[in-house]
Amino acid sequence: MESNLAIPILPTLNIHQTAHFYKHALGFEVQNDISYAIARREGIEIHFQRCNNVAVCENSACYIRVLDADLLYSQFFRKGVIHPECHIETKSWGMREFAVIDNMGNTLWFGERSKGRTSVVSEKKENEMPLG
């Protein structure tokens, strides 16, 4: 059965560097030419288009629904690509999610519907919480 599908097109300052990052750091299969790239992994597809403005990259994001956010998080954590402020946790709106910032500054949010898990608070946040 076919369904509707949205595929993000993110900006990149350098197609070759982006293709390398998505292939080696995130485990995507990548096809690219000089001005456009397509990255695919386990049903996820992201396109990239050449852009000359770093601010556009640094202010771009997409949200990707996944089947197992914890597994993907552990794979990306081992690669050292998790956003330092966005470790995995279950949000009040019922999504278990985390973020990655790519080598051009794009933010990729990965999330799945919560399965009754409790919220995870990062060690940094615990240390910043006021006592009593």
Domains, the chain, with CATH or none: 9-120 (3.10.180.10)
Per-residue confidence (pLDDT) for residue 1, from 0 to 100: 61
Q: Tens digits of per-residue pLDDT, 27-60?
A: 999 999 989 999 999 999 999 999 999 999 999 9
Q: Tens digits of per-residue pLDDT, 70-90?
A: 999 999 999 999 999 999 999
| Position 115 confidence tier, pLDDT thresholds 50, 70, 90 | confident
Two tokens, residue 15: 């197609």
Run of H or E including 113: strand 107-113
Measure the CA–CA gap between 49 and 36, rounded to whole angstroms.
5
Amino acid at 126: E
pLDDT, the chain, mean: 88
Run of H or E including 41: strand 36-41
Two tokens, residue 86: 């966005």
Per-residue confidence (pLDDT) for residue 116, from 0 to 100: 64
- Locus of tokens 């794009």: 106
Q: Tens digits of per-residue pLDDT, 116-125?
A: 644 444 434 4
- Could you tell me which of 108, 51, 56 has the C-alpha nearest to residue 79? 108
- Could you tell me which of 70, 74, 82, 85 has the C-alpha nearest to residue 108? 82
